[in-house]
Structure 1
C-alpha cells in the first residue's frame, strides 16, 4: 500500500512516521512518498523517516521527491499538509490583523482568510495532479484552514475528506481524566473546523460530561484558556479556538505584548532540522511535542485505514453538511462524527444545536463561503466582503483597511492582486 504526503518536508512528518511505525497492523504501508519543493528540508526529513522505520523494524520504503506526479502515482491515499509561504507568511497572518485591533491567528479571522487566499489555488492545482495520476486515491486534507480547503476540494469534485486533531486531542485528554481507554470515549462534537463544542462525552455510550466537568473542570478550562465559570455555565467544552471569540479583546492584548507563535515555531523548526540532520537520531525528538499536532498521526492512520479498509467506524471529520445541521446549506462543510468506509464519510445525526452555538456556526459558515469565493475567483471586493462577514471583524472601515494590508502583504502569492 502506497501513501503520498504532499508537504512531506514539514517538520510534522516524523510525527506521522512515528504513527505509521506504531500502527503498522492497522495501516500496512509498503511505500511512503514524501513530496516537497524544498529539496534540502525534504532530504533531512526523509533521512530521519528512514531511520525511524528501520529502528522500528518497519519495511516500508521512503521515497523523497520534488515531483508531485512521481509522488502520487500509484498511491491509494494522498495526505495534504502544506503551508504556502511558510512561517514568514504565517507571521504576517498573526501580526498584521492586530494592527487593526483584530485577532491575529493563522486559521481564524483575517489571518485565516489570508491563508485561504494563498492556499486554496495551490491545493486545487495539486489535487488535479492527483486526479490525473492517482484517480482512485483519497485525498486527506490536514492543510489549514481545513474547512475552507476541504470545501474547495469537494466543490471541484475530488475524493477528499478534511481532518483535524482537535477532536482526537479532546478524546485522549478526557480519557486520561476519566482513567479509561480512549477507544471507550466518544464525543458529541459539533461545529465547523476550529469552531466546535463538545456537547457530550460518552463512555461506553453513557454521557459523563457533567461528571467530567464537576471533577476536572478546572484542568479543562485551563487547557482551553477560558474561565471555569464560563465552561461550567455552558455545560459544554468549547475548543481552544473559541477563545478568539469569547475573549477577543484580551487575546489581542496578549498577542500585541509577545512574539507571534510563528516566530516561536520558526525557531523550533530550525532546532528540529538540526536534530533531523543528525544520523544518530532515529526516534521522534521530544521537541516535536511542542511543535503542535498532537495525535495527528493516530487520527490520520485511523481515517486512511477506514477509507481503504471499509471499516465503517465513527470518526470526527470534515464533510459536507448534507442536511445534518438544518440551519446551514447542504454544500457547507462541517466537523462532526461520521461513519467512515470505502465510500467516504457519512455524518451521523446531530441533536438540535442550541441558538448560542448555531448562530455563530451559521455566521462563520457564511464567511467561509465568501472566503472560498474570494480564494477561487480573486478580487479585492470579494476579500472585503468576506472580512465584513466575519464576526471577529464586521466593521466596514476595519474590513477595508485589512483588505488593503492583507493583499499588499500577500502580493507575491496572489497574481490577481496586480489588477485588483
Structure 2
C-alpha cells in the first residue's frame, strides 16, 4: 500500500509516520512518498523519519519529491496537509484581524476566511491532478480550513475525498473517560461543521450517559472542555461544544487575551519551526531529538489564551500522548483498505442527515466507514441555536469557496461581513482590503 503525503515537509508529518510504524497489521502502508515545494523542509523531515525508523522492523520506505504528478502516481491514499503561504501567511491572517479589533484565529473568523481564499485555488488544482493521475486513490484532507477545503475538492473527487480533524474524537474520548466509559465502545452523538460542533449525546450500553456527565461537577472539571466552558454554561447548553466554540462563546475575553500577549500563535510557531528547520539542516544527526523537543513545546501551548481566559490550567498530558489526527487517518485508511467497519467522526457530505442543510453541504458527523467509504450516521437534529450558527458559518464557507473560484470581490466581502465574529460591514471592507494588499495571491480582491 502506498501513501502520498502532500505537504510532506510539514512539521507534523512525523506523527503520521509514527502511527504507520505502530501498525503491524497485514496490508499496511509499505511506501510513503513525501511531496513538498520546499526542498530544505523535505530534507529535514526525511531525516526525522529515517531516525524514527532506525529500530523498526520493515518500516515503510520513504521517498521525497517536488514533482506533484510523480508523487501521486500509484498512490492508494493521498494525505493532504498543505499550508499555502506557510506560517508567514498565518501571521498575516492573525495580525490583520487583531489590528482591526476582531479575532484572528487561523481557521475561525476573519483569519480562516483569508486562509481559505488563498488555499482553495491550490486545493482545487491538487484535486484536479489527483483525478487525472490517481483517480482510484482515496484522499484524506487535513488541509485547513478542513470542511471548506473538503467541500471545494468534492466536485473533482466525489466521495473519495474525506476530511478529518482530531478535535471531535478528542472531545468524545475525554468525555467518555470522565464517565469511566471505554472510549472505543461509546457512540458520540456529535454534529456541526469543522471547528464548530457539539457533543449532544454519549451512548454506552444503549444508555445516553451525557446527562449524567453534565450533572457531575467533579466529572466536568476533570477534562479540558469542562474547565474551558465552565459547568454552568455547559448545563445551560445541555451539550459539550468543540473547543473552538470558545472563540464564539467568549469572543470578547479571548480577543482581549490574544491582544495582550506579545506575539500571536502564528508568530510563535513561525519562529519556533524556523529554528527547528535551521538547526536540523545544521545538525541532521539530531533531527528526531530536535523535533521531539519542538513538538513538546508546541503542544503544551495549544490554545493557551483560551485556557487562560477560563483559568483551565495546563493542558492534560493524556491529550498530548493519546494520538490525534494521525490516529484518525490511520483508522480511516485501514477501514477502507481492509473493509474493517469503523465508526469515525469525519467531514463528509450531509446527504439529508441534518435537515437545515442541503445534501451536498460538508458537515462534521459520525460516519460508518468500510471499503465503500464513509456514510454519515443518523444523529439528533441541531437545536435552533446550533442550527443558526451552523447555517451562518456554512454561508460564509460557501461564499469563500465562490470568491476563491471566481475572484469576485463582492462575494469575498460577503464572506467577511456575514461571519458572526465580524460585526461590521465597514470592518469587513477593511479586512478584505488589507488582506488583499498584504497576502500574495489575493491581489484580485483589491478595491
Does the alignment reach a TM-score above 0.5? yes
Q: Which piece of structure 1 moves more, 282-291 or 9-18?
A: 282-291
Corresponding position of 1:145: 145
* Counterparts in 2 of 1:56 and 1:181: CA distance versus 1, 3 Å: farther
* Counterparts in 2 of 1:26 and 1:315: CA distance versus 1, 3 Å: farther
The answer for unaligned runs of 5 or more in structure 2 is: 300-319
Is the Cα contact below 8 Å between 1:97 and 1:103 reproduced in 2? yes
Q: Could you state the TM-score of these two structures normalised by the residue count of structure 2?
A: 0.88
> 1:269 offset after TM fit, Å?
1.6
Corresponding position of 1:40: 40
Describe the SS at the equivalent of 2:347.
strand
Q: Which piece of structure 1 moves more, 245-254 or 166-175?
A: 166-175
Is the Cα contact below 8 Å between 2:171 and 2:225 reproduced in 1? no
* Counterparts in 2 of 1:174 and 1:57: CA distance versus 1, 3 Å: farther
Describe the SS at the equivalent of 1:225.
helix
Counterparts of residues 20-419 of structure 1 (less than 5 Å): 20-25=20-25, 28-158=28-158, 159-213=160-214, 214=216, 215-220=218-223, 225-258=228-261, 259-273=263-277, 274=279, 277-280=283-286, 282=288, 285-292=292-299, 295-410=324-439, 412-414=440-442, 416-417=444-445
Please give the alpha-carbon distance, in whole angstroms, between the structure 2 residues aligned to 1:180 and 1:27: 31
Q: Could you state the TM-score of these two structures normalised by the residue count of structure 1?
A: 0.94
Please give the alpha-carbon distance, in whole angstroms, between the structure 1 residues aligned to 2:91 and 2:334: 35
> 1:224 offset after TM fit, Å?
6.4
* Counterparts in 2 of 1:25 and 1:73: CA distance versus 1, 3 Å: same
Corresponding position of 2:304: none
Describe the SS at the equivalent of 1:128.
helix
* Counterparts in 2 of 1:230 and 1:27: CA distance versus 1, 3 Å: farther
> 1:239 offset after TM fit, Å?
0.9
- Write out per-residue CA displacement over residues 295-353 of structure 1, whole angstroms, 9 at most, x where no aligned residue: 12101101111122222321110011111111112221100001112222111112122
The answer for unaligned runs of 5 or more in structure 1 is: none
Q: Which piece of structure 1 moves more, 204-213 or 17-26?
A: 204-213
Please give the alpha-carbon distance, in whole angstroms, between the structure 1 residues aligned to 2:325 and 2:152: 22
Q: Which piece of structure 1 moves more, 52-61 or 295-304?
A: 52-61
Please give the alpha-carbon distance, in whole angstroms, between the structure 2 residues aligned to 1:320 and 1:59: 35
> 1:281 offset after TM fit, Å?
5.3
> 1:226 offset after TM fit, Å?
2.1
- Write out per-residue CA displacement over residues 143-195 of structure 1, whole angstroms, 9 at most, x where no aligned residue: 00011100000133442111111122123323443444431233111100000
> 1:227 offset after TM fit, Å?
2.8
Please give the alpha-carbon distance, in whole angstroms, between the structure 1 residues aligned to 2:420 and 2:204: 35
Q: Which piece of structure 1 moves more, 103-112 or 271-280?
A: 271-280
Please give the alpha-carbon distance, in whole angstroms, between the structure 2 residues aligned to 1:181 and 1:268: 36
Is the Cα contact below 8 Å between 1:117 and 1:375 reproduced in 2? yes
Please give the alpha-carbon distance, in whole angstroms, between the structure 2 residues aligned to 1:144 and 1:129: 19
Describe the SS at the equivalent of 1:279.
helix
Is the Cα contact below 8 Å between 1:224 and 1:240 reproduced in 2? no
Is the Cα contact below 8 Å between 1:387 and 1:394 reproduced in 2? no
Please give the alpha-carbon distance, in whole angstroms, between the structure 1 residues aligned to 2:394 and 2:12: 28
Please give the alpha-carbon distance, in whole angstroms, between the structure 2 residues aligned to 1:362 and 1:242: 15
